[in-house]
Amino acid sequence: MKDMRMESRVQSAVNKIEARKVQVYYGENHAIKDVDVNIPDKAVTAFIGPSGCGKSTFLRCLNRMNDTIPVCRVEGLIQLEGEDIYDKRVDPVQLRAKVGMVFQKPNPFPKSIYDNVAYGPRIHGLTRNKAELDEVVESCLKKAALWNEVKDRLHAPGTGLSGGQQQRLCIARAIATGPEVLLMDEPCSALDPIATAQVEELIDELRSAFSVVIVTHSMQQAARVSQHTAFFHLGHLVEYGETGQIFTNPQDPRTESYITGRIG
């Protein structure tokens, strides 16, 4: 009874992304097997699981980053607000403006702080003049909780910032194209505990405006930042539910083994 209530709460959230029967192959390697999942809007969903289980591969399906890997083949259906993102008419560059991504290692462009954030709005023609672009840059740096630290040196190189600041700059850059979904692949793994705490706080703020999906190796981090958790194992999505339920009352023995440290 209790489980059915949990299930219906997860399903009743508004879904931003719905994936059905997703398979991913790298040549002969069947890396993602029959994955069905609904990613809710205005919430953080964590992907957890042992190394090599397919978390990053599945995350990259959600903005077609796997298209850039020649041996990779994706099958099944992934819809963003009801639209098939693998439809031939979808331009992957436009899709990635709607489904932004932040990587493990902060990777600012070798450009100024300002130009890093202005890059997306410029290439997508999102602003009409310099004043509008200035506004977008300022508001994104504020949303990324970086503005106060950089407002006096916007034209200094982004690569001159600390690791944690660089990651927040990459988040500002990702949100500058007005995305609806933010994918984060272990965004704190290269950061110290203080910078990690700042980025986690930021993720919590971002969920009021975005659907956030985060891959993390840290179960503590998943428990701190997410409302929903998906546990992957050997390419399967074994269990998906509310984060509290996954960590306190997992339904599948493989999930229980992982969260109690017996597999991983």
Ligand X SMILES: Nc1ncnc2c1ncn2[C@@H]1O[C@H](COP(=O)(O)OP(=O)(O)OP(=O)(O)O)[C@@H](O)[C@H]1O
* Site residues (vs ligand X, CB under 6 A): 26, 29, 31, 49, 51-57, 69, 71
**Smallest distance from ligand X to CB 195, Å:** 20
How far apart CA 264 and CA 261 sit, in angstroms, is 7
Query: What strand order describes the sheet that includes 228-233?
Result: 99-102, 181-185, 211-215, 44-48, 228-233, 236-242
Beta bridge partners of 45: 213, 228
Nearer of residues 42 and 217 to ligand X, judged by Cβ: 217
Q: How many CB atoms lie within 10 A of CB 151?
A: 12
Nearer of residues 53 and 175 to ligand X, judged by Cβ: 53
Question: Residue 200: which residues within 8 A CB-CB, separation 6 or more?
Answer: 188, 221, 224, 225
**Smallest distance from ligand X to CB 136, Å:** 32
| CA torsion through residues 143, 148, 152, 158, sign | negative
Nearer of residues 51 and 208 to ligand X, judged by Cβ: 51
How far apart CA 195 and CA 187 sit, in angstroms, is 11
The first and second tokens of residue 128, run together, are 């009409």
Nearer of residues 23 and 162 to ligand X, judged by Cβ: 23
**Smallest distance from ligand X to CB 120, Å:** 25
Nearer of residues 69 and 156 to ligand X, judged by Cβ: 69
Amino acid symbol at 24: V
Nearer of residues 55 and 168 to ligand X, judged by Cβ: 55
**Smallest distance from ligand X to CB 22, Å:** 13
**Smallest distance from ligand X to CB 174, Å:** 19
Phi, psi of 220 (to 5 degrees): -65, -40
Give CA 24 to chain center in angstroms: 18
**Smallest distance from ligand X to CB 55, Å:** 4
Nearer of residues 114 and 258 to ligand X, judged by Cβ: 258
**Smallest distance from ligand X to CB 194, Å:** 24
* Helix orientation angle between 113-123 and 130-143, rounded to the nearest 10 degrees: 120
